[in-house]
Structure 1
Amino acid sequence: MADQIPPTAVSLIDYQQLANEQLDRTTLAYLEGGAGDQHSLEANITAWANATIWPRVMTQAQGASTQTTLLGMKLDSPLMIAPTAYHRLFHEQGELATATAASALNTPYIVSTQASTPLEEIAAQAAGSPLWFQLYIQHDREFTADLVLRAKRAGYQALVLTVDAPINGIRNQEQRAGFQLPPGISAVNLHGMRPTPNMSHALDPRFLSSLPNWKDIAWLKKLSGLPVIIKGILHPQDARLAVEHGGDAIIVSNHGGRTLDLLPPTKTALPLVAQAIDKQIPILVDGGIRRGTDVLQAIALGADAVLLGRPILHGLSVAGATGVAHVLRLLQHELEVAMLLTGCRSLTEASSVINTPN
């Protein structure tokens, strides 16, 4: 039977519940689990709910729009698809289904290094819609360079350098479930890389010597000729360093609460980062965004766009490309309603809705 939207799927929370009902226990633990006791994972979501929105009434709504521009791209909304791994865990068409939905809605899609589909096939399916490639710098630098050039040849328009996860976080929920990738699903774009040396511990010097550093931004820009976006910034000083070293944009992220527990929720870090770099480069944010009011808050606090991670996989699990597209449409509609009911004609007016009125 073709993928169909369930009649009860009217919000992103509904999609999460439906996905959780149909995924097997180990895959669910991989998808929904966070680091340690999962405080950061939960705080990402609850922080957005801890807000008061101040509406304006009887405003002139003519010409209202969610359109925005990001790194030269004209977008219908500030929504983007975050990089997440192994989409074929959640649907047989995997990243191709996600790319189909992104293309249909002209939504930028950031493809993960750990995609379960060749990056060239994803690019072909995206049919010219905005496509960025997320990069983990590998211990094999030559392989990393080849991977970057593959992405450029395939038509990816930017690189997203993830800097907050040089090692996997300790995800106890995933460990308890005994999660392992099933046969036939792997990070196919990393096939052929030299094996990682056996490490005796996390601070093994052989591992530490291969970690990314600030100079890698210039290396990647020279190698690829593409914009480089830095993903995984929380501290204001790191935001300043990203600007200083030539980063073209920043993604405020704590990796969905999956790397280290007790990190601040992204809503808390976002305004601090925005203040630190003072509009020198664009800021994107992910982490716990489930409602149109969350998107409106993010824009008000200094973000130029927001990324969706788990909600995309929920939609993919439930209804493939149709589900992913529906998740994006639901959030887009909620944002439009929130803007209309708060008197915002454009995203640039969002800051007024969360500031205490005079």
Structure 2
Amino acid sequence: MTYYFKGFPQSDQNKSLKMIYVDELEERAKEVMPEPAYYYIASGSENEWTWRNNTAAFNHFQIIPRSLTDMDDPQTETEFLGKKLKTPIMISPIACHGISHKDGEVATALGAKEAGAMFSSSTYANRSVEDIAEAAGDAPRLFQLYLSKDWDFNQMVFDAVKAAGYQGIMLTVDALVSGYREANLRTKFTYPVPLDFFTRYQGGQGEGQSVAQMYAASAQKIGPDDLKKIKERSGLPVLVKGILCAEDAQMAIDAGADGIVISNHGGREIDGAPATIDMLPEIAKVVDHRVPIIFDSGVRRGSHVFKALALGADLVGIGRPYLYGLALGGSKGVASVINQLNDELKIDMQLTGCKTIEDVKHAMITNLPYSSDNLPSSTDPTVKPPYPVTDHNQMKASYVTGTDGEEPAPQVAEPVDTEGGASH
């Protein structure tokens, strides 16, 4: 079924998703999303070099397997800002979840709650923080702030977020203007669904606006004093989101930041910026455990989560994959994406002798100069050529294939006559 908001199609699915890995969902999402909405998610700025390298650069770092560790059953539970989580994987903020699903951020928050993950929502969310709080209850959540030039607007946001039980604010500092996003221009993307905070404050502004127009309403000038002012006015912990160099991390901590979010905005701002994972070790060294670190940008595998944790992160955010999961399966689709990555993470934990997430943070990582390709596996449908069909390599109709990774039921094979078919 599809729900239409003023002619814009929105998915209303709510089902668990099967996948071999999360990137499969990107292509499948085209079946339920119109082209402008799809490319709002599935694109970066300019030539998309940074967007691509965010994922490819994870290959700059390698996990050292460990043997004879005498352990099993790894556990992914962790804690952040006093909240217990089932996984270190978190939902990073992205605007306008209504382009993926009619229930928007409410469905995303419910999916995060089901998977036991930290959720975060954007200033540019479609659904209200009150709706999210009502649906998700006491599930942990953060709020991502695009600081406005209008401090009355900011105060309205602070008051609502605190009343709705959010644990902290993530102040975005790396998107003072919109990056040059060619895909948005080519598809003429505008936000097709109202954005709650703009509706309640300005009577509907947001719907029909371009990304660049929305960013123009935000503050283009943010400094350490703004961070102090936000902490004072909100009464909440404030994490600084969009740090990509050690000097800025130190400046944020000096200004009172309660956490650092290492991110290049998913390759959607400066094209030509380094991959986020390449900057993590240097920043983590300067932070030196004084405040927690959230990492995001480019995460597509459980091994990526493992590497980010081992290099200094406390939580690891995902972005685009969960929006595809949301489009294809609603809240259960979001949970499926988190669970898929968490299951992959557990495999790496077992193979490195890491019983807990704290163990992962001390795992052995090396940095050897391999090619940093990001090629898919040899059986990936995007690269695998059609398998040849011959008279001799086809299974009989009586062969029962396995499901969900189970072995096929045993069958008695018929002898094959190599001269031309099965013998009788």
Q: Normalized against structure 1, the TM-score is what?
A: 0.91
Match of 1:337 among 333, 347, 351: 347
Displacement of 1:74: 2.0
Residue deviations 1:219-278, cap 9 Å, x none? Answer: 111112211011000011000011101100000000011111111111011111001121
Gaps of 5+ in 1: 197-201
| Residue of structure 2 equivalent to 1:32 | 42
| Residue of structure 1 equivalent to 2:15 | 4
Gaps of 5+ in 2: 2-12, 207-211, 369-424
Q: What one-letter code is carried by the residue in structure 2 that aligns with 1:133?
A: F
Matched, 1:219 2:225: no
Partners of 2:274 and 2:313 in 1: how far apart? Answer: 17
Partners of 2:331 and 2:77 in 1: how far apart? Answer: 23
Match of 2:150 among 140, 149, 153: 140
Partners of 1:354 and 1:297 in 2: how far apart? Answer: 7
Partners of 2:218 and 2:127 in 1: how far apart? Answer: 29
Larger relative contact order, structure 1 or 2 (CA cutoff 8 Å, min sep 6): 1
Q: Normalized against structure 2, the TM-score is what?
A: 0.77
Partners of 2:328 and 2:303 in 1: how far apart? Answer: 24
Q: What one-letter code is carried by the residue in structure 2 that aligns with 1:3?
A: N
Count residues with an aligned counterpart: 346
Partners of 1:334 and 1:173 in 2: how far apart? Answer: 32
| Residue of structure 1 equivalent to 2:183 | 173
Q: What one-letter code is carried by the residue in structure 2 that aligns with 1:168?
A: S
Match of 1:188 among 196, 210, 222: 196
Residues 18/149 of structure 1: CA separation in 2 closer, same or farther (3 Å cut): same
Contact 1:250–1:282 at 8 Å: present in 2 too?
yes
Match of 2:136 among 96, 114, 126: 126
Partners of 1:98 and 1:336 in 2: how far apart? Answer: 23
Residues 67/132 of structure 1: CA separation in 2 closer, same or farther (3 Å cut): same
Partners of 1:261 and 1:67 in 2: how far apart? Answer: 35
Partners of 2:154 and 2:219 in 1: how far apart? Answer: 15
Residue deviations 1:99-152, cap 9 Å, x none? Answer: 111222231111110001112111111111001111111111111111111111
Query: Higher helix share goes to which structure?
Result: 1
Displacement of 1:37: 0.6
Residue deviations 1:73-95, cap 9 Å, x none? Answer: 22222111011111111111111
Displacement of 1:210: 5.7
Residues 127/208 of structure 1: CA separation in 2 closer, same or farther (3 Å cut): closer
Q: What one-letter code is carried by the residue in structure 1 that aligns with 2:14?
A: D
Residues 295/208 of structure 1: CA separation in 2 closer, same or farther (3 Å cut): closer
Contact 2:147–2:219 at 8 Å: present in 1 too?
no
Q: What one-letter code is carried by the residue in structure 2 that aligns with 1:330?
A: Q
- After TM superposition, the structure 1 stretch with the greater mean CA deviation from structure 2, 215-224 or 238-247, is 215-224
Q: What one-letter code is carried by the residue in structure 2 that aligns with 1:155?
A: G
Displacement of 1:349: 2.9
Partners of 1:330 and 1:208 in 2: how far apart? Answer: 36
Displacement of 1:348: 2.8
Larger of the two Rg values belongs to structure: 2
Contact 2:72–2:350 at 8 Å: present in 1 too?
no
| Residue of structure 2 equivalent to 1:199 | none
Structure 1 stretches of 4+ with a deviation exceeding 6 A read 206-209
Residues 181/352 of structure 1: CA separation in 2 closer, same or farther (3 Å cut): closer
| Residue of structure 2 equivalent to 1:107 | 117
Secondary structure at the residue paired with 1:324? helix
Partners of 1:181 and 1:41 in 2: how far apart? Answer: 22
1:243-322 superposed matches below 5 A: 243-322=253-332
| Residue of structure 2 equivalent to 1:162 | 172
